[in-house]
Amino acid sequence: MAVWLFLSAGNLFAQNTPVARNQIASNTSSEADRSAQWLSWAQETPMYNMLGFNSTTQFYAMQRFDANDLSTHIGEQLTRVKFFPSYDEDDPTSASYTIIVYTGGYVSGSTFSPGTLMVSQPVSSVTYGQWNIVDLNSPVTISSGQELWIGVYITAYSGYAMAHDDAAAVYNKGNIMYYNGSWGTGDDFFSDITIHNWKIGGYVRSNGNEQYVDLSVGVFDNEVDQNLIDAMTVPAGEAFRPILIFRNENSNYSDGDYADSVIITTYLDTTQLHQHIYNQPLVLGHGIYSEVTELTALQISSLQLRGTTHTFTLRARPATGWIDQNMANNVKTISVTFEDFTDYHTITILNEDSTIIPCCTLQVRDGLNKMLNIYPPNGASSLHSVLVDGQPVTDYNVINNSLVRYTFTNVTEDHTFQAIYDTSHVNIPEFNADRAVSIYPNPAKDEISISSERNIHNIDIFDMAGRLVLQFQPSSSNVILDIKPLKSGFYFIKITTEKEIFTQKLIKE
């Protein structure tokens, strides 16, 4: 339940909102455990507070670490900064953020000086309501005797731009702001609300062995047994959804934390399928599994993978700044067999004059649909009737004067199909010099020439299954087409002029 606090501090307002513990994205460290790699005064609690404004407002939200806080990190580098832009679904946040880092600052009484600006890095993409981790383009080295100020410059347009914890603010360190032209703590600016410790952290590391990790990858059989497999079968009609597993086999950090992104790239044979990015901490010796859809059932069908076996490869790599110390186990290849359907039915097209696409003998899987396009031949005034298994049917759709469609739905047996036209000229003659359109050569190997007495608007080439494989819009009466991309075989070519549509078989050598 949200509790709204309407306050009288100028244009400021605030809200406390409960958050599930597993929505806290990364570990933070308290004042008592400064040795942790994430430096932050914010506590990892199941509550956070949200700060927002009634109008567009700019301010800095910063955390400060003095020389004593950094004494065990001299010579290490600040390589990334995290912050928590809050969100409420009733008043969505809209804001821009820039990562800010200062060194060499100080606080003396009421005087706050951040020191020298070392980083001003805009954040290009922000996810509200969770930790955002940003790699610094230029890491900052921690020097002896100098302070480190870490935070964000925010332009808040609407909603709640920044989160802070519900613990007592670390005095002069956890809730520093620059607001209305001056530096101070949240308490210095707002008397009616309390700004606790900003949800901000800095990640520090040395240049030594702690940059090394050891990623391994594999594929599970299921989420219960979790056995690694070397081969799998995708049943006909189902998607290819492997269960990926990646582990951190080794980390040279004493606490075993690996908080960077893991990038998994997958391939089918040599073609890249997807890239999966996981922004989850990976503890030494632990793994994360994820079931992903690499190919949908429709993609498997369109790529003609049914009835074939291929290699599926996944490759893991750590985020920038980390080195995989054993590259041999960060790649895994398994064999994947895509099962084919076994139950098919045959639709026999009795018109063998290219007026029906697709033509001739069609194989349709049990229970699926099959759509046929009917193009009356040149000289035919209209479609007279449609026969299915020798009986007239009326459930066809007239698309326009030159196209009629009929769809077999839920095919469970063999059928015959025939179209009868209002003309005795049911066969399409070959194009020749006496006709309005001519095509040559046919058969052809590399290119064909098409000429017409009228302007040609569209040229469509279909394979024998009725799939459109090439399409042209020449807007010319004389056209030369490159057909080298076509495989050898039989095709249908449909030519649409200003007045007529011509359809004919095309043979590619």
- pLDDT tens digit string along 172-189? 999 999 999 999 998 888
Q: Which pLDDT band, with edges at 50, 70 and 90, does 256 fall under?
A: very low
Q: Answer yes or no: is pLDDT of 12 > 70.
A: no
pLDDT band at 101 (very low <50, low <70, confident <90, very high): very high
Domains and CATH numbers, the chain: 3-205 (no CATH), 209-338 (2.60.40.10), 344-421 (2.60.40), 437-508 (2.60.40.1220)
Split at pLDDT 50, 70, 90, the class of 263 is: confident
**Can you tell me the distance from the alpha carbon of 482 to that of 377, in angstroms, rounded to the nearest whole number?**
26
pLDDT at 7: 27
pLDDT digits (tens, 9 = 90+) for 339-371: 987 778 889 898 877 788 888 888 888 778 899
Residue 171's pLDDT band, with cuts at 50, 70 and 90, is: very high
| Paired strand residues for 349 | 417
| pLDDT > 50? residue 414 | yes
- Could you tell me which residues are beta bridge partners of residue 397? 405
Q: How confident is the model at residue 233 (pLDDT cuts 50, 70, 90)?
A: very high
**Whole-number Å distance between alpha carbons of 23 and 134:** 18
pLDDT of 4 over the 50 cut: no
The torsion defined by the Cα of 27, 28, 32 and 36, in degrees rounded to 10, comes to 60
Percent of the chain whose predicted confidence (pLDDT) is above 70: 81
pLDDT in tens, 13-50: 444 433 322 222 233 333 223 333 788 998 765 467 88
Query: 306-316: string of b/e by CB count within 10 Å (b at 16+)?
Result: beeebebbbbb
Mean pLDDT within 490-498: 80
200 φ/ψ angles, rounded to the nearest 5 degrees: -140, 145
Q: Residue 37 and residue 354: Cα distance in Å, rounded?
A: 72
Confidence class for position 207, pLDDT limits 50, 70, 90: low
Query: When comparing pLDDT for 63 and 505, which is higher?
Result: 63
Separation between Cα atoms, residue 476 and residue 356, nearest integer Å:
27
- Kindly tell me the burial class for residue 487, based on how many C-beta atoms sit within 10 Å of its own C-beta (0-12, 13-18, 19 or more): exposed
Distances from the Cα of 506 to the Cα of 51, 210, 370, 452, angstroms: 70, 65, 23, 17
End-to-end C-alpha distance for the chain, whole angstroms: 72
DSSP state of 295: B
Burial class (CB in 10 A: 0-12, 13-18, 19+), 49: buried
287: closest CA among 223, 356, 339? 223
pLDDT for res 18: 31
Residue scoring higher pLDDT (88 or 415) = 415
Distance CA 182, CA 178 (A): 5
| Backbone torsions φ then ψ of 72, nearest 5 degrees | -90, 5
Cα 206 to Cα 77: distance, rounded to the nearest angstrom: 6
CA torsion 445-447-449-455 (nearest 10°) is 140
| Per-residue model confidence (pLDDT) at position 269 | 94
Mean of per-residue pLDDT scores for the chain? 80
pLDDT of residue 225: 79
Name the maximum alpha-carbon separation found in the chain: 104
pLDDT at 6: 25
